[in-house]
Amino acid sequence: MLTVYGPKDYRDFRDHLQQIDDILVKSGIEARFIDRHISSDEKLSESHSYQFLVSLTQRALRYSILRALTGESFRELAVRVSDSQLCQWFTHTSQIDAARPLSKSTIERFEKMFSSEEIETLIHDLGRCVADKKYAKELLLREAAIKFDKVFSDTTCVKANIHFPVDWVLLRDGVRTLIKAIELIRSHGIKLRISEPSSFLRAMNKYCMEMTHLRKKRDSDKKRKVVLRKMKKLTATVEKHAINYHRKLETNWQDTDLSEAEAQYIRQRMENVLDQLPRALKQAHERIIGGRKIKNSDKILSLYEPDIHVLLRGKANAEVEFGNALHLVEQEDGLIIHWKFIKEQPKGDAALVKESIERITREYGQPSSYTADRGFDSPDNRIELEKLVIFNAICPLSVPLLKERLQESDFCLYQKRRGSTEGRIGIFKNAYLGAPMRSKGFNNRRTRIEWCVLAHNLWKLADMALKQKEKIEDAKTA
């Protein structure tokens, strides 16, 4: 690899990547991960040579780690690797005769190539390695192994990449998706009698602008009802045209230059909107014309992300957030050792304690203490922690009990350390996941979170090793 005398930020990034490479190779977790993946797919093993599969799996792993570290899009990462010898070296795309970096589509397929269980096993394999004194000395240059006895827990909301869920804007979203699909079908040769499709979009945009400006005018409620009725009529017209085009594409797709898979994808995109449009129309009618409230569980927040929820956060800058809950547990040094991305409406933080303890115990042994904020406190959790002989450092909901516990020096120390967990979550969400996270669909968002947990832990361990190296060098020169 070419030596670059760049700015300190570049040198730091290079040193961390080199250290991460050492951890992946010397710990053996990369080799074990590759072997597990190849042996799990017999059909793949029969159709390709072992060496080819090793190279493919290794590049998929390293590209996914690099993307989680940089936070770049698939397109941006494809450009960056093409232009950076450092990234080519790390991803093993630099060859003797030339560099052969991958396209954005291949990088995306690589990120989704592994199952959730495979990535999770890899993360815990890394944790168990640094918990071994031998590996800790070799990889982190420290005599003591990483401990997983003191754990700190918190939850956050991973915001969905959607606009604010205004009811009448859902109608605009539906009309836009259906019209775009109609235009695509027409461009491939299937045409039915219809006005210029773009005229429907212009009309809907006009109604949306009217609806926005009416909030500040006198009798705004009555005027908004008038505009919504126009929007409903336009939506019904577009819906009828979309159904006709959907049927025509289903029966006559052979007459176009579309493949069967492409035609099926277009129909599925239309079906997704057509299935939800009646509910979206009813929701807008109930809230704007009827003036009636709708339960959060019955609302459509997005036509494209069905698994998101309204989460009451009670923050100064966000009373409610729209997305999914994420439970993170870190150990004393800041390594994330347990996580759960919750698809359903969360039942409450207190319900997460028992499951997280069981998982941590299975992977690393039973912790000696469990620290969290007041949301995790419950009588059942107090009994469970006492039964397991785990120090309960969860902040009590009861004020008298909190006053009593504040007299304990250990409890105060654990709660003081818990402040760093808030910072850990902020770093993880903003520096790794991105705000908001761009991945679409619950499963893809979960996969992205798992890659970011792995990248975060690798970077954290690399940082610990580099700081230890610096201390050793300083001691030699002193």
Q: Which of 254, 277, 298 is the last residue of a domain?
A: 298
Q: Which residues contact 134 (CB under 8 A, 6 or more apart)?
A: none
| Total number of domains in the chain | 3
> Could you tell me if residue 352 is inside a domain?
yes
Contacts 24+ apart (CB under 8 A), 281-289: 281/171, 281/232, 281/235, 281/236, 283/167, 283/170, 284/167, 284/168, 284/170, 284/171, 284/228, 284/231, 284/232, 285/228, 285/232, 287/167, 288/167, 288/168, 288/224, 288/225, 288/228, 289/225, 289/228, 289/229
Which ranges of 339-437 does DSSP label H, i.e. alpha helix? 353-364, 379-387, 399-405, 409-427
Residue 393 has φ and ψ, to the nearest 5°, of -110, 25
For residues 34 and 100, membership in a common domain is answered with: yes
Amino acid at 399: V
| pLDDT-based confidence at residue 1 (cuts at 50, 70, 90) | low
> Could you tell me if residue 273 is inside a domain?
yes
For residues 153 and 103, membership in a common domain is answered with: no
Please say if the pLDDT value at position 62 is more than 80. yes
Q: Cα–Cα distances in Å, from 45 out to 34, 37, 107, 206? A: 12, 10, 21, 57
> Could you tell me if residue 444 is inside a domain?
no
> Could you tell me if residue 453 is inside a domain?
no
Q: What angle do CA 306, 311, 317 make, to 5 degrees?
A: 125
pTM (two decimals): 0.92
Residue 238: the pLDDT is 97
Average the pLDDT over each of 48-52, 215-219, 343-347, 448-452 and give the range with the smallest value: 215-219
Tens of pLDDT along 414-425?
A: 999 999 999 999
> Could you tell me if residue 138 is inside a domain?
no
Which 3 state secondary structure label does DSSP give 94? strand
Residues 302, 229: Cα–Cα separation, whole Å: 21
For residues 289 and 383, membership in a common domain is answered with: no
Residue 303: the pLDDT is 94
For residues 373 and 256, membership in a common domain is answered with: no
For residues 177 and 204, membership in a common domain is answered with: yes
Tens of pLDDT along 176-224?
A: 999 999 999 999 999 999 999 999 999 999 999 999 988 778 888 899 9
Tens of pLDDT along 250-303?
A: 999 999 999 999 999 999 999 999 999 999 999 999 999 998 988 888 899 999
- For 343, the domain range is 147-162+307-438
Residue 48: the pLDDT is 77
CA 374, distance to chain mean position in Å, is: 26
For residues 44 and 94, membership in a common domain is answered with: yes
> Could you tell me if residue 2 is inside a domain?
no
Please say if the pLDDT value at position 461 is more than 60. yes
> Could you tell me if residue 333 is inside a domain?
yes
Question: Mean pLDDT for the chain?
Answer: 92
Tens of pLDDT along 216-260?
A: 788 888 999 999 999 999 999 999 999 999 999 999 999 999 999
What CATH number does the domain containing 315 carry?
3.30.420
